[in-house]
Amino acid sequence: MPTIHSERGVLVVRVVYDGAPLSGKTTTLRTLAERLGVGISSPEERDGRTMFFDWVDYVGGLFDGRQIHCQIVSVPGQEELRARREHLLASADAIVLVADTRASEIDGAYDVLRELRPRCREEQPPVGLVLQANKRDDPDAVARHRIHEAIEGIVPVAIVETIATTGEGVREAFVFAVRLALDRVRALADAGLLHEGRPDVDGPDELLEELTSLEKAAGVSPAWEPAPAAEPSPFEVEIAQLSPLRAAVQAAMLSMEEEKVFVPDPMMPGGFIWPPVDGRTLLAEVSRLDLVPTRTSRGDWWASGSGWRFHSSAEALYPDADGGRRALIDWARMHAVHSRVLSSGRTVILAGAGSGRFRLWQLVRVMSSLRELLMAALEHAEPEQLVLHVRGAAEQLLRAHDAILRSELGIPCTLWTVSADFGAQPHYVGLMPFTADPGAADQKEIPALLEREFTPILRGMSRDRSDYARIRGSLARWHAREPSSVAAATLARVAEAATPET
């Protein structure tokens, strides 16, 4: 738990180094201590293996004018010592996962990542995670892009390549972890939950004492019990309710004069990224992509590629940081409150735009929409299969319509903006409009919505598919089987109207 040390006036945070056995945790802390010019304390080792932990103290940097005292702790990797490891993990404000990236060992790191990631997210605010891809000097080290591919399915996570034995990359991974820890502190401070007093543990001797006394009291379970998932966390709700929604939008465009082009910077100051912690991790991921936003004729900025879109509306420019921060908080609140409707992986950023101005950006992970699904099916699927897709898309669109209307977000419900995964609850996958679209209320009529969305699709089918008569027939049969279904009736009618004249 981060603590404002009441006697020393410093902010105490803890970065914990975790990882599979022999991945290089102790080596990392040794070279890190050397590079930071401080000592290291390792209470007990046996045959070169960590039995309790390694401990490094580092004081450096400022948070709201206070010095930051970072407790850097590594865990013991051996399975028999799991209880100690768990206890140390439970105390982390950020975690560096040291991964042995040799082909023979890397699966062990993925296992640890699978275990850690949900736990980190369940903490509120979340505990940031950095993957320190270690042993890059080994000829059997797996290529970086392969690591990215492999972990894509698990999580977005920031990766820093290191050679712990020489120290290469070690400091970079540490500094990024401290940033993530400070994001957590910032979120706690904003919610008035930052603890002040004496830290639970103020040095390696006290930590050793804590671990040994816990073990004496047999039957004590590790402190890191996973919380039940799904419900929005109390923290999110709290943040969402911090103050009433304000129309803090600076509507007028300040000027079209030269602006600094946005470059995603994972080291940008805390308090300018939402969500805390996870936002910075995503930022680290997208910063590798070298996406350079361009300006549209309307004055918006945008960039797209490698599975991401960046966007900033022309109006989202603020003359100073205060105005920008208010808008960021409003947007963050809106995203948090509606997280069930919105696709995941969204990040909101307030970035310097030059001349003291700030611009509000959204980074949105590209997710496949109903339209893409239909376009893919249109090319290859058999008529019956295609009609199943059309039905599925219509039903998904209506579910989304309902959720979007209830959210009162004023976002457009179209085949382009609704997620394509039929098995899951529909999500809005489009960009967040800068201001709610009053026209969104016009979408209330279901037949009109379906007609508007499916007419171009069915026209395309009637033009491009020689078997269109079968498609139309299949839709007509659906309507006959389910005469009370508004979707079936509408689509049968639209299909009929789209039939080319002979």
Q: Is the C-alpha dihedral spanning 237, 243, 244, 249 positive or negative? A: negative
> Which of residues 44 and 445 has its CB atom nearest to ligand GTP in the complex?
44
Closest distance of CB 70 from Mg ion, Å: 19
Choose among ligand GTP, Mg ion, none what residue 22 binds, the Cβ cut-off being 5 to 8 Å by kind. Answer: ligand GTP
Choose among ligand GTP, Mg ion, none what residue 446 binds, the Cβ cut-off being 5 to 8 Å by kind. Answer: none
Our finding on whether 347 is near ligand GTP (CB under 6 A) is no
Closest distance of CB 100 from ligand GTP, Å: 7
Residues 196, 280: Cα–Cα separation, whole Å: 26
Bin 325: left if φ > 0, else alpha if -120 < ψ < 50, else beta.
alpha
Report the candidate in 398, 152, 415, 130 with the shortest Cα–Cα distance to residue 278.
130
> Which of residues 143 and 227 has its CB atom nearest to ligand GTP in the complex?
143
3-state SS string for 17-69:
EECCCCCCHHHHHHHHHHHHCCCCECCCEECCEECCCEEEEEEEEEECCEEEE
Residues 450, 487: Cα–Cα separation, whole Å: 7
Our finding on whether 43 is near ligand GTP (CB under 6 A) is no
3-state SS string for 199-222:
CCCCCHHHHHHHHHHHHHCCCCCC
Q: Show the tokens assigned to 227.
A: 């919380």
Choose among ligand GTP, Mg ion, none what residue 24 binds, the Cβ cut-off being 5 to 8 Å by kind. Answer: ligand GTP
What CA dihedral angle connects 397, 398, 399 and 401, to 10 degrees? 90
Q: Is the C-alpha dihedral spanning 175, 176, 182, 186 positive or negative? A: positive
**Residue with nearest beta carbon to ligand GTP:** 77
Window contacting ligand GTP (CB under 6 A); options: 73-81, 304-312, 322-330, 361-369: 73-81
DSSP state of 470: H
Identity at 217, one-letter amino acid code: A
> Which of residues 51 and 193 has its CB atom nearest to ligand GTP in the complex?
51
Our finding on whether 26 is near ligand GTP (CB under 6 A) is yes
CA atoms within 13 A on the CB side of 276: 29
Choose among ligand GTP, Mg ion, none what residue 138 binds, the Cβ cut-off being 5 to 8 Å by kind. Answer: ligand GTP
Our finding on whether 77 is near ligand GTP (CB under 6 A) is yes
> Which of residues 53 and 310 has its CB atom nearest to Mg ion in the complex?
53
Cβ 84 vs Cβ 211: under 8 Å: yes
Choosing from 8, 21, 210, 433, the residue that interacts with ligand GTP (CB under 6 A) is 21
Our finding on whether 23 is near ligand GTP (CB under 6 A) is yes
Choose among ligand GTP, Mg ion, none what residue 199 binds, the Cβ cut-off being 5 to 8 Å by kind. Answer: none
Our finding on whether 50 is near ligand GTP (CB under 6 A) is yes
Show Cβ contacts of residue 256 under 8 Å, excluding neighbours closer than 6 positions: 299
> Which of residues 3 and 23 has its CB atom nearest to ligand GTP in the complex?
23
Report the candidate in 90, 65, 60 with the shortest Cα–Cα distance to residue 75.
90
Choose among Mg ion, ligand GTP, none what residue 429 binds, the Cβ cut-off being 5 to 8 Å by kind. Answer: none
148-187 binders of ligand GTP (CB under 6 A)? 163-165
311-350 binders of Mg ion (CB under 5 A)? none
Choosing from 2, 24, 324, 352, the residue that interacts with ligand GTP (CB under 6 A) is 24
Choosing from 50, 91, 101, 396, the residue that interacts with Mg ion (CB under 5 A) is 50
Closest distance of CB 25 from ligand GTP, Å: 4
Residues 47, 69: Cα–Cα separation, whole Å: 31
Our finding on whether 26 is near Mg ion (CB under 5 A) is yes
**Contacts with ligand GTP: how many residues (CB under 6 A)?**
21
Length of the chain, please?
502
Residues 190, 22: Cα–Cα separation, whole Å: 39
Closest distance of CB 176 from ligand GTP, Å: 18
Residues 196, 85: Cα–Cα separation, whole Å: 26
Report the candidate in 64, 42, 61 with the shortest Cα–Cα distance to residue 53.
42
Choosing from 4, 13, 25, 53, the residue that interacts with ligand GTP (CB under 6 A) is 25
Closest distance of CB 22 from ligand GTP, Å: 4
3-state SS string for 262-299:
CCCCCCCCCCCEECCCHHHHHHHHHHCCCCCCEECCCC
> Which of residues 174 and 301 has its CB atom nearest to Mg ion in the complex?
174
Binding string, 103-142, against ligand GTP, x = CB under 6 A? -------------------------------xx-xx----
Closest distance of CB 166 from ligand GTP, Å: 7
Q: Show the tokens assigned to 120.
A: 């980190």
Q: Is 149 exposed, middle or buried (0-12, 13-18, 19+ CB in 10 A)?
A: exposed
Choose among ligand GTP, Mg ion, none what residue 126 binds, the Cβ cut-off being 5 to 8 Å by kind. Answer: none
Window contacting Mg ion (CB under 5 A); options: 20-28, 201-209, 258-266, 300-308: 20-28
Closest distance of CB 368 from Mg ion, Å: 43
Show Cβ contacts of residue 68 under 8 Å, excluding neighbours closer than 6 positions: 10, 11, 13, 59, 60, 61, 62, 178, 182
CB atoms within 10 A of CB 253: 12
Site residues for Mg ion per CB under 5 A: 25-26, 50
Site residues for ligand GTP per CB under 6 A: 19, 21-27, 48-50, 76-78, 134-135, 137-138, 163-165
